[in-house]
Amino acid sequence: METKISAIIADDHPVMRQGLRQIIERDEFFEVLVECGDGETALNETLMRQPDVVILDIDMPHKTGLEVLQALREQSFAGKVILMTVHDDEEFFNEALRCGANGYVLKDSATEDILNAVRTVVSGQNYVSPALTNLLFQQKQKPPVELSGLENLTPTERQILKLVSEYQTNNQIAETLFISPATVKTHRRNINLKLALEGNHALMKFAVEHKSKL
């Protein structure tokens, strides 16, 4: 009997993990070894089990998908890595490529794209969600947006924004700056107000896009 291609799924939303597992295992040549709800567990399970492919959500507790990817490459993990994300901008995409991702799948289209992504990367090719390709072309055609608002931030707020751009969690930022996680949250709210940012991922997106200016 032919050995199945093994996979690990890491996402902090159980429904998302289970849905992806069902889709992947519809193909008789694939099997999901384990599901993980955070980045630290995903890293440990991947290094222990050595699957053919690991699917990582970028935004996870304890370690982000990008941090897990970097750690896996440092450990010379030989398998393929697919990142799933809600981030549809060029900065996140370029960062994923720099870290060594083999696939980049938008979560909005993950249920349609994931099986094609897994098949593509295990065959030795790279995969990007078709929807992202269109978005990147559209963004290239838009005039550049001038940087504004950073001058209104306090030194502490700029420091927090820089740490956000490095994918640090509130707890990690609190430890770095010797303040409480609650204080970090307050600063983040103030930064959002000053920069007129709305939505759960707007601050992260802004921080990464303007990392070189911080």
> What whole-number percentage of the chain has pLDDT above 70?
92
Q: Which two tokens stand for residue 144?
A: 């550049």
pTM: 0.65
User: How far are the Cα atoms of 63, 154, 198 from residue 101, in angstroms, in the given order?
Assistant: 16, 35, 28
Q: Which pLDDT score is estimated for 147?
A: 52
Q: Which two tokens stand for residue 24?
A: 């992947």
Q: What is the DSSP string of 86-113?
A: S--SHHHHHHHHHHT-SEEEEGGGHHHH
- Give the three-class secondary structure for 183: helix
Whether 122 contacts 80, CB under 8 Å:
yes
Strand partners, 41: none
Phi first, then psi, for residue 60 (nearest 5°) are -130, 155
Nearest to 164 by CA among 185, 146, 178, 149: 185
Q: Which pLDDT score is estimated for 143?
A: 53
pLDDT tens per residue across span 128-180: 988 787 666 665 555 554 555 788 888 899 999 999 999 899 999 999 999 99
E strand or H helix at 117, and its extent? Answer: helix 110-122
Number of residues that make up the chain: 214
pLDDT tens per residue across span 86-134: 877 777 888 888 888 999 998 888 888 899 999 999 999 999 988 787 6
